[in-house]
């Protein structure tokens, strides 16, 4: 059973799941939803960006700069694969 550590790490697994469900999300919203520190969130998002799993968009909203994140196609795909792995592990428990 192959576990992708990029996706499996607890904080990142939750970032993946949140962005998968909610689509484009701002940094403050993500921080609040996951209850993590700014530094921790930035570090994990950075790793996901480096792996081409998250796209970052910087724009101005009411003249204020706002950064939003969303999963790339590759990010969605890797997350779906990983959920499949976890589901298989869980399903096997009933056998």
Nearest distance, CB of residue 93 and its own copies, angstroms: 6
- Contact between 31 and its own copies by CB under 8 A: the answer reads no
CB 67 within 8 A of CB 57: yes
CB 31 within 8 A of CB 39: no
Comparing CB distances to its own copies, the nearer of 62 and 92 is: 92
Tally DSSP H helices, then E strands, for the chain. 5, 3
- The residues binding its own copies (CB under 8 A) are 1, 3, 5, 8, 10, 13-14, 17, 20-21, 83, 86-87, 89-90, 92-93, 95
């Amino acid at each position: 059973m192959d576990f992708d550590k990029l996706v499996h790490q607890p904080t990142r697994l939750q970032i993946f799941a949140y962005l998968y469900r909610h689509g484009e999300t701002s940094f403050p919203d993500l921080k609040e939803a996951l209850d993590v520190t700014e530094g921790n969130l930035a570090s994990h998002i950075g790793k996901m960006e480096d792996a081409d799993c998250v796209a970052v968009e910087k724009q101005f909203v009411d003249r204020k700069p706002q950064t939003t994140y969303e999963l790339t196609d590759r990010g969605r795909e890797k997350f779906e694969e990983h959920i499949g792995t976890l589901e298989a592990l869980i399903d096997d428990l009933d056998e």
